[in-house]
Amino acid sequence: MTKPLRLGVAGLGTVGGGLVRLLTAHAGRLALRTGRTIEITAVSARDPKKDRGLGNALGNVTFHADPVALAKDPGIDVFVELIGGETVAREAAEAAIAAGKPVVTANKALLAHHGRELAAKAEAAGVPICFEAAVAGGIPIVKALREGLSGNRIDAVYGILNGTSNYILTSMAESGASFEDALAEAQRLGYAEADPGFDVDGVDAAHKLTLLASLAFGAAVDFNAVHVEGIRQISALDIAFARELGYRIKLVGIAKATDDGLDVRVHPAMIAAESALGHVDGVFNGVVVQGDFVDQMAFEGRGAGAGPTASAVMADIVDVALGLHLPLYGVPVAALGGARVIPVTSRFGASYMRLSVVDRPGVIADIAAILRDEQVSIESLLQRGRAPGEGVPVVIVTHEVQEAAMARALARIAALESVLERPTMIRIEEIK
């Protein structure tokens, strides 16, 4: 065997602790696969004396209070960044690259916002940046796109990329709970943070989709150009109507290549219950990839947690140990294609619209007239219950239409005196 691969691990939280346990459990197996031992020789943590339940696994390592100092430590060969955030993580990653050390990271926000700059620095230094753990937990989707499917032109990537939001929507579907009650349950179980905004507002999923789209299309996608919506507005009533129509509501990331540019967006969507993503429930993630030669492939697994994420981190470390060195986006920075992200108003597709209207004659006719004027065709209309003079829900499913026209129609309908609440619109996506 050659000399050991020495790791410097920044962050000993959930994922860092999982990595230590994985390496302890499978040190022999990993040595056989790579031809060298892999060991943690230095770490960075806020409190070196904290009991993390790791026994003597870190008994002989060097502790650094500063991740940047760890990245520069001559006693490590690989810098493993598991602290999250952007500022300190970026400084530490840049320090490691400048010192000629490969970087393994689980930090999707860092790469979504600064990936191109870091990739250029890594290429100049001749070191890789590996990030399997940054997207979809234990699902090896980065390796699939960057290696396994490299012989394909990727046409589309669809994903359920946030386990917290997926758990909340699953709980609402199974129990009839409101969004607020389902969120509270997710927080009680530890699936959602005290401040759940990154998850339920779609930001976390958008970070991940930005990376997947960049890999799939060989273009550094600008995160700020990605359309992002969350799930706070989804009600138990929408969940019930979706079931009646044969759909499930999921927070979905969509990245498609079109003649006009890249269509990259995150938002709630109604997808067929029997589709590849329709059955992905709870805290699980799912990704569907469409390629010109492979057709469609579906991946599913746990999207977060100590074990799955540590597994993905270790997959990258094994690649480094074997000398596998690929560009961050699968192609050199100089070869990245154009990444024009088209506005969501360019979308052409069907939609679900739920209205709360006064139950009286002529209301539906007024709504239908607006839809006619905006060239929005109705596929079906549902109304449940009668309450003369009071509010009742009305659901309209449209045929395919450009979203700009749909937006104009919604604005005009919302202004009607007979419409009591802001209309809810959920896109219907044809995902097999």
Q: Which residues are catalytic?
A: 208
Nearest-10 crossing angle of helices 306-321, 14-25: 60
Residue 235: other Cβ atoms inside 10 A: 15
* The two structure tokens encoding residue 172: 């609402």
Contacts for 241 with CB less than 8 Å, ≥ 6 apart: 352, 354, 382, 393, 395
Residue 36, token pair as written in the block: 């060298």
Residue 91: Cβ within 10 Å count: 14
Q: Name the H helices within 39-138.
A: 67-72, 87-98, 108-125
Distance CA(88)–CA(82), nearest Å, equals: 11
Q: Rounded to whole angstroms, how far apart are CA atoms 403 and 406?
A: 5
**H-only helix segments in 189-251:** 197-200, 203-217, 236-245
Q: What is the DSSP string of 407-424?
A: HHHHHHHHTSTTB-SPPE
Work out whether strand 284-291 and strand 227-228 pair parallel, antiparallel, or are unpaired: unpaired
d(CA 262, CA 226): 10
Contact between 137 and 302 (Cβ < 8 Å): yes
Amino acid at 134: A
Query: Minimal CA–CA distance to 123: which of 90, 152, 100?
Result: 100
Cα separation of 206 and 230, whole Å? 10
Dihedral angle sign, alpha carbons of residues 110, 113, 115, 120: negative
Cα dihedral across residues 29, 30, 35, 38: positive or negative: negative
CA distance 51 to 63: 14
